[in-house]
Amino acid sequence: MDSFEHRDGQYYAEGVALEALAREVGTPAYVYSASTIRGHVARLREAFADLDPLICYAAKANGNLAVLTLIAEAGCGFDIVSGGELARVLRAGADPGKIVFSGVGKTAAEMEAAILAGVLVFNVESEPELELLGEVATRVGRPAGVAIRVNPDVDPKTHRYITTGKRENKFGVDLARGEVLARRAIAHKQLRLRGIQCHIGSQITEVTPYAQAVERTRDLALRLKPDAPDLEYLDMGGGYGIYYRAADAPALVDYAAAVRPIVKGCGLRLVLEPGRLIVGNAGVMLTTVLYNKQSGAKRFVIVDAGMNDLIRPSLYEGYHRIWPTRGPPPPPLGSEGGEAPADIVGPVCESADFLAIDRPLPPVEPGDVLAVMSVGAYAAVMGSNYNDRLRPPEVLVDGDRFAVVRERESIEDLMRMERPAAAYRTLGASSGETVS
């Protein structure tokens, strides 16, 4: 479901015409729909209603403060993976008691900040991490909630770069070691074992792997429960697929139906960590055609957005629908239409800089604005300044109004953090003592 619609010959985000918006804020620009984001949270709640899950939105998918605020206002908690994300979600109004802290490489400083903020649990992924967490909790004199992240060795059947639940992936610990770690947490004075967690991958379009992973995770939790008075959460992670190319992602009710028989009545509250599902189809990227170029039989459309603004096609062979914001309506979801195919490429000096390869596209002229669909997740957050390109603005649309919720960067922003090498110093000298 999304609120981007082609009507009367042009694309709209809710009540805002995208071409006119592009003229006003410039391109490239990311445009998010508030009602789509709210709608996804509501539909997720509805699908899982009888299980009353704790929904912890994965902030890594889209961390814009205005987006996070919308999601916090909808009552969600957050899944975070760094001290930066912790600060960000707190600034957006997150309830610390609904924050889960994931990631294989948390530092002592990040642990301390999160304990002091009062996060619900750390999703612990290794023995040394558990040990360090125990030390930090002891030092700051506050208990830390723990969920053990297990790797259930299930193939989620998604792209190999976003598979996390197989034995050869760096994430989690196997079930046997998970039990050992959990018992260590139970025995520790300053640690509270509150959950068992798994996350098997991202953009998963089959429900069966979830059922397998959740069942294995639940069985471990139930084995531990008699000895773990604080154990109350069963966290099945995120990864729910969305439509990019066709209507091929399962309906939310199908995910719920797969796990309901495993979870219902087991005495543990379900935690969900959706990222893409909430924001993925709630964003488009607007980009202007710079040039048409024909090279033999090959048609190139060169646009002003590149792999630094949307890396998913280059990195994961990600597919994003692309269509002019004005003109004929796009082909229905799942078909590409019969127009002449083009490689839609950006200005970055890399052959991997493309938004689409051999994609049917109506004739376009320099100055035309294209909409790149389904870029609400893992687009702006994965952006870079490569080739000294300015990061685009982010715009949030709500009804027939919009707000620029991140400005376009300026040339000055690009160099703000840099210094001339005028003040060399020797190791150990304070930054004030310069050595000439």
Rounded Cα gap, residues 355 and 345, in angstroms? 6
Q: In whole angstroms, what separates CA 258 from the centre of its chain?
A: 23
Based on the shown chain and the rule CB under 6 A, indicate whether residue 238 belongs to the binding site for ligand LLP. yes
101-126: string of b/e by CB count within 10 Å (b at 16+)? Answer: bbbbebeeebbbbbbebebbbbbbbb
Cβ-in-10-Å burial (0-12, 13-18, 19+) of 221 comes to buried
Residue 60 DSSP class: G
> 335: closest CA among 346, 348, 351, 321?
321
> Of 33-41, 212-220, 270-278, 424-432, which segment contacts ligand LLP by CB under 6 A?
270-278
Based on the shown chain and the rule CB under 6 A, indicate whether residue 202 belongs to the binding site for ligand LLP. yes
Based on the shown chain and the rule CB under 6 A, indicate whether residue 275 belongs to the binding site for ligand LLP. yes
Q: How far is the CB of 382 from ligand LLP (least distance, A)?
A: 6
Q: In this structure, are residues 130 and 122 in contact, taking their beta carbons and an 8 Å threshold?
A: no
Choosing from 316, 326, 329, 331, the residue that interacts with ligand LLP (CB under 6 A) is 316
Based on the shown chain and the rule CB under 6 A, indicate whether residue 312 belongs to the binding site for ligand LLP. yes
Q: How far is the CB of 134 from ligand LLP (least distance, A)?
A: 21
Based on the shown chain and the rule CB under 6 A, indicate whether residue 378 belongs to the binding site for ligand LLP. yes
Total number of residues that touch ligand LLP (CB under 6 A): 21
Based on the shown chain and the rule CB under 6 A, indicate whether residue 102 belongs to the binding site for ligand LLP. yes
Nearer to ligand LLP, 12 or 255 (CB): 255
Based on the shown chain and the rule CB under 6 A, indicate whether residue 277 belongs to the binding site for ligand LLP. yes
> Of 2-10, 184-192, 197-205, 424-432, which segment contacts ligand LLP by CB under 6 A?
197-205
Q: How far is the CB of 46 from ligand LLP (least distance, A)?
A: 18
Angle formed at CA 363 by CA 349 and CA 17, multiple of 5 degrees: 90
Active site residue 76: no
> 173: closest CA among 136, 134, 217, 215?
217
> Of 36-44, 269-277, 339-347, 409-417, which segment contacts ligand LLP by CB under 6 A?
269-277
Based on the shown chain and the rule CB under 6 A, indicate whether residue 37 belongs to the binding site for ligand LLP. no
Both tokens of 41, joined, read: 């949270």
Q: In whole angstroms, what separates CA 243 from the centre of its chain?
A: 15
Contact partners, residue 208, CB within 8 Å, separation at least 6: 258
Footprint (CB under 6 A) of ligand LLP, residues 47-76: 58, 61
Q: How far is the CB of 28 from ligand LLP (least distance, A)?
A: 18
Choosing from 35, 203, 217, 374, the residue that interacts with ligand LLP (CB under 6 A) is 203
Binding mask 138-167 for ligand LLP (x = CB under 6 A): ------------------------x-----
**Tokens 């729910």, residue located:** 240
Nearer to ligand LLP, 90 or 377 (CB): 377
Rounded Cα gap, residues 155 and 79, in angstroms? 22
Strand 269-272 to strand 144-149: parallel, antiparallel, or no bridges (unpaired)?
unpaired
At position 363, the amino acid (one-letter code) is: P
Based on the shown chain and the rule CB under 6 A, indicate whether residue 98 belongs to the binding site for ligand LLP. no
Rounded Cα gap, residues 376 and 380, in angstroms? 8
**Per the residue annotation, which of 56, 198, 266, 349 is the catalytic one?**
349
Q: How far is the CB of 24 from ligand LLP (least distance, A)?
A: 28
For the chain, the helix, strand and coil percentages under 3-state DSSP, each to the nearest 5: 35, 25, 40
Nearer to ligand LLP, 161 or 291 (CB): 161
Based on the shown chain and the rule CB under 6 A, indicate whether residue 374 belongs to the binding site for ligand LLP. no
- Which residues would be at the binding site for ligand LLP (CB under 6 A)? 58, 61, 79, 102, 162, 199, 202-203, 237-240, 273-277, 312, 316, 377-378
